[in-house]
Amino acid sequence: MGTKQPDAHLAAEEERRRLEGLRKQAAQERMEQFERANVRGSQALKKIHLAQNQKRLMEELKQLQKEDLARRRQTVAQMPPQLVELPYRRSEVKEDWQRELEFAFEDMYNADR
């Protein structure tokens, strides 16, 4: 009977070590699982924030484009019509103006006679 007791203590000590190892392993696995879940959560939040930022920026871009178009239209509306005319039309207008000046000069010259 004396020889059985040390074996029981030894077996109990080994079982305690084994259970302690299993407990530590389970705790380690839980910690790793928690860390992976935390990383996944952070990545998901980052994706959500990026999507929200993209949506906000696209809305801002649309608004800026509308404002820019309105500003350009207003600028063009305030320009003198000569600037907006096509080159061939400008030359026609110059020729017409030159003809009118010539006729006016001729009328003045002939009126003095």
Q: What is residue 89's predicted lDDT score, i.e. its pLDDT?
A: 80
Query: pTM for this structure?
Result: 0.50
pLDDT, tens only, 52-108: 999 999 999 999 999 999 999 999 888 887 777 777 787 888 899 999 999 998 888
pLDDT, tens only, 15-26: 999 999 999 999
Tokens in use for 44?
A: 């998901």
Do 84 and 76 contact (CB within 8 A), yes or no?
A: yes
Do 82 and 90 contact (CB within 8 A), yes or no?
A: yes
